Structure 1
Amino acid sequence: MTLQATPLRLATSAPDFEAAFKARLHWAADTDAAIEQRVADILADVQQRGDAAVLDYTRRFDGLEADSLSALALDPAELKAAFEALPDAQRHALEAAARRVRSYHEAQKKASGESWSYRDEDGTLLGQKVTPLDRVGIYVPGGKAAYPSSVLMNAIPAHVAGVGEIVMVVPTPRGEKNTLVLAAAHVAGVTRAFTIGGAQAVAALAYGTATMPAVDKITGPGNAYVAAAKRRVFGTVGIDMIAGPSEILVLADGSTPPDWVAMDLFSQAEHDELAQSILLCPDAAYIDAVQREIDRLLPGMPRRDIIAASLNGRGALIHTRDMDEACAISNRIAPEHLEVSSREPQRWEPLLKHAGAIFLGAFTSESLGDYCAGPNHVLPTSGTARFSSPLGVYDFQKRSSLIEVSEAGARSLGPIAAELAYGEGLQAHARAAELRLEGRP
């Protein structure tokens, strides 16, 4: 039987479009009760027993024996040696990607990550002090797949932000270390690294152990156990986000070669069966051409079974009335990755309000953003781009308000504060403001 990938065909002009569209878009992050309970038990155990618990779970889940957690630490010299052992092509690609990611986040820091202040007419100083977090933990998936790009995207903005210590955790089942991941840690400025993973690694980062320092924030992707653990430790530490399945939306005017668009849809569908790939286009004939390319290209894809499952289960090819309507629907979806595959991408970009990342023009494939364009590839999913942003320098900084009230300012602000405080029934607040009216010392 021939494997087929047939994304749902929809047309905005159809009377049943709204219901079918909502059904195809729906995804619920249903939590598995068994996973949640297991994760709760692991977190509690690590919080109580520390290193011993982490070693037990690492032995059980990763098949990795160690007498101490220190034995699972990766020495900076080992990270450097991994980098130097890379083939020239890989080493140069890693350096080039890191250079671009660093350059982008340095520009981001200048634009949004600097302290500022001003004095008003009374001489009162008001402002904002921006300081980096002291220590952060980055989780890097391991096992079947290796993600050096995740190391760059999480560690480099933390490094640019000025974080004092970056602690990386990465599972290495049966002791199998990925050289490219270790090399990326060296390039990105990781301070300390441990070969542990799963909920136990999240717990060790959040609570600290005799060997593992507690961090202020945890970022990075992981499986259902890691996501559940991050959700549970939030409040003890900060987290970046709880990400859903990967998404791509291609907004096309019909001018891009259809095989390019088909492959772009594949690029997210190959992540997993729940990934979502959607095409919005006002040209029905072009949508037909993309479907033909899907049929032609699918058999040659190594991950064709996953791609087919994703496109059949959650994919959609949507015929819109025009590009304006396509932009409006895109804003409703608020996709993780949005490609504007058009002759005039700058014409449509101002209409696009909600997306994790916007890729402008036919030559801007989403995959370039995943690896080396420069902006961060850790993006909001499942419609959360309506209120969330990509991971950035700002995620590794915090802001403190600066207030220095002059004597004249105390005289002008005191009565205002006192009046409002009395209105709230807070006498001490009011009196604290009124005492300054006397002008002492």
Structure 2
Amino acid sequence: MLNPQYLTSTDAGFWAQLKKLLAWDAQAEDEILNTVRDMLRAVSKSGDAAVLEYTNRFDRRDVQDIAELEIPPARLQQALDNLPAEQRQALELSAQRVRTYHQHQKQESWRYTEADGTVLGQQITPLDKVGLYVPGGKAAYPSSVLMNAIPAKVAGVAEIIMVVPAPDSHLNELVLAAAAIAEVDKVFTIGGAQAVAALAYGTETVPQVDKIVGPGNIFVATAKSMVFGTVGIDMIAGPSEILVICDGKTDPDWIAMDLFSQAEHDELAQSILISPDAAFLEQVKTSMNRLLENMPRAEIIKTAINDRGALIHVKDWDEAAEVCNHIAPEHLELSIADPEALLPKIRHAGAIFMGRYTAEALGDYCAGPNHVLPTSRSARFSSPLGVYDFQKRSSLIYCSADGASELGKTASVLAHGEGLTAHARSAEYRIKE
């Protein structure tokens, strides 16, 4: 039976209870840290040989030459060509919508000229190479390929290197087809921390990249955190989350299934419902218990809901927004009559799904906005993955003689104030007599 926590905002201990509910420790255990650190060192030192050894060991393979781990473009196209028509159409429509949405995010260079002729501006350039990690094994994530690769292509990234584990030499055709649609440049059947290391440091075969994006297990997440600085990373993602704010007028079965949609990811996922209607909270709980028995991943859902799920009763919409902003959810559904009225009060959320008909699942696959979102309250300070994550900004400063003279006077004063004489004199040389 499902028994999510029931919290009431007017209770004296509400905020302490909410803090405890949201707590999640992202830190890997010492054993994992040590294992990943050793793997990174081995790949950095031995390159292909270490990658091959770890791949054979952890993915139960018997590959003798690392060249066998690269999937040629023709094989990706073959996977796409052989897909059932319905699957191909779904992938292509999703890709088109993701591409169209992200084209609106592309930033352009700009500059302006001051009265004395000094030019200031900003130059936008794409990253050269990006590494895309795609989880493998029992689960397949073609949607992750599209969501990570397409914004990079829109940004103008020259080369995308995809890595995906192939345990027991199993390849997922949907993932390969998605790579073809997204125009991924190279694909290697490498997974785990060794894949992250290969992308970060480069090997004789795997190119070194500038940034690594994409989800993975605790070993992958730990490796990404350790190579940050050598390369950029998108984020360290925690368990999936959904927060639904409902006025009690949406079909409770719809809301129950929306909560299940994230709970079925894994046992640590978090599903929360907020409503000022206490009776509706009970209706949704009843729906959840009735619908659970027909869910293939019922045990995962049950654990997630009972361990980290919650039904929260609030007194009004202002309080609903306050609680929401504290949670800063990855996914937020505003399942209410007038979501536009509540929207200005929402400050922290990864993606906001507005209205009764906008299921979070649409955002996971084909709505268009990115499904790579900040988790674990990080929506307070970070944003969804987008084109801007694959572009760099360089400041432009082009001083005229007059501009250099006037700015030099100010720079000289400040540099002397900091005790940096060379800075001051460098500016002073350009001051007109």
TM-score, normalization by structure 1: 0.97
Aligned to 2:127: 133
In 1: Cα distance, 2:256 partner to 2:233 partner: 34
Alpha-carbon separation, structure 2, partners of 1:65 and 1:73: 15
For 1:221, which of 215, 224, 231 is the aligned residue? 215
Secondary structure of 1:300's match? coil
Q: 2-side partners of 1:345 and 1:48: how far apart?
A: 55
- How far apart in 2 are the matches of 1:21 and 1:105? 35
- The yes-or-no answer on 1:120 pairing with 2:114 is yes
Cα pair 1:282 1:320 within 8 Å, conserved:
yes
Alignment of 1:15-414 (within 5 A): 15-109=12-106, 113-414=107-408
Do the aligned residues in 2 keep the contact of 1:98 with 1:188 (CA within 8 Å)? yes
User: Which amino acid in structure 2 is aligned with residue 400 of structure 1?
Assistant: S
Provide the C-alpha distance between the structure 2 equivalents of 1:346 and 1:247, rounded to a whole number of angstroms: 22
Give the secondary-structure state (helix, strand or coil) at the position aligned to 1:318.
strand
Q: Secondary structure at the match of 2:430?
A: helix
1:10·1:316 contact (CA, 8 Å) conserved in 2?
yes
Moved over 6 A (4+): none
CA contact (8 A) 1:278 1:317 kept: yes
TM-score by length of 2: 0.99
Q: In percent, how many aligned pairs have the same letter? A: 62
Which moved further from structure 2: 346-355 or 113-122?
113-122
SS in 2 for 1:354: coil
Structure 2's unaligned 5+ residue stretches are none
The offset of 1:16, in angstroms, is 2.4
Q: Is the 8 A contact 1:51 1:68 kept in 2?
A: no
- SS at structure 1 position matched to 2:374: coil
| Deviates further, 64-73 or 77-86 | 64-73
CA distance in 2, matches of 1:68, 1:340: 52
Distance (Å, rounded) in 2 between the aligned partners of 1:413 and 1:15: 58
Residue 19 of structure 1 and its aligned partner are, at CA, apart by: 2.1
RMSD: 0.8
Deviations 1:216-268 (A, max 9, x none): 00000000110110011001000000011100000111111111000000001
Tell me the alpha carbon deviations over residues 174-229 of structure 1, each in whole angstroms, 9 at most, x when there is no partner.
11100000000000110000001000000000000001110000000000110110
Q: Which whole-Å CA distance do the structure 2 matches of 1:15 and 1:213 have between them?
A: 56
Q: Which residue identity is paired with 2:304?
A: S
Tell me the CA shift for residue 30 of structure 1: 3.0
Shift of 1:406: 0.8
* Residues 333-386 of structure 1 deviation map (CA, whole Å, 9 limit, x = unaligned): 000000000010000011000001011011111100000000100000000000
| Structure 2: distance between partners of 1:129 and 1:312 | 50
* Alpha-carbon offset, residue 14 of structure 1: 1.8
Name the SS for the 1:232 alignment partner.
helix
What do residues 71-101 of structure 1 show as CA deviations (whole Å, max 9, x unaligned)? 1101111101100100000000000000000
Rounded Cα–Cα distance in structure 2 between residues aligned with 1:86 and 1:326 = 45
C-alpha distance in 2 between matches for 1:64 and 1:404: 57
Gaps of 5+ in 1: none
